[in-house]
Amino acid sequence: MTDLNTLRYSEEHEWVAADGTTATVGITDYAADKLGDVVFVELPAVGTEITAGSVVGEIESTKSVGELYAPVAGTVVAVNEAVVDDPSLVNAAPFEGGWLLKLEVADGAVDALMDRAAYVALTEG
């Protein structure tokens, strides 16, 4: 199980796990719950340069279609093909097997994102 206190969070409900200059990105359990059953995920291609706050993909559920925003700037170095093939992983394991993409980022790029306490305050408010 992922320690949720080690992750950083965006206001658009993405989580980021930093490991040096690699940032793994997914959507939070809160977002997955609000979306309902995820049935389609579209992700950017490996090698795509993205800017923080830009739309980088789409998540479709039985309730709605949502956009995936880049929580930080970077270059896509991996996408989770398992989620593309089986979008229900986003609901079943948002912090483990349901991750969406990995970015190569500048050192410290995720520091400006919220910690767990701030994210919990945002979603409970």
For residue 125, pLDDT beyond 70: no
Q: So what's the pLDDT on residue 2?
A: 79
Cα separation, 125 vs 123, whole angstroms: 6
Cα separation, 2 vs 104, whole angstroms: 21
Tens digit of pLDDT for each residue in 7-38? Answer: 999 999 999 999 999 999 999 999 999 999 99
Whether the full predicted model's pTM is greater than 0.85, yes or no, is yes
Tens digit of pLDDT for each residue in 72-124? Answer: 999 999 999 999 999 999 999 999 999 999 999 998 899 999 999 999 999 99
Exposed/middle/buried for residue 16 (C-beta within 10 Å: 0-12, 13-18, 19+): buried
Distances (CA, A) of 98 to 51, 70, 85, 117: 22, 16, 11, 22
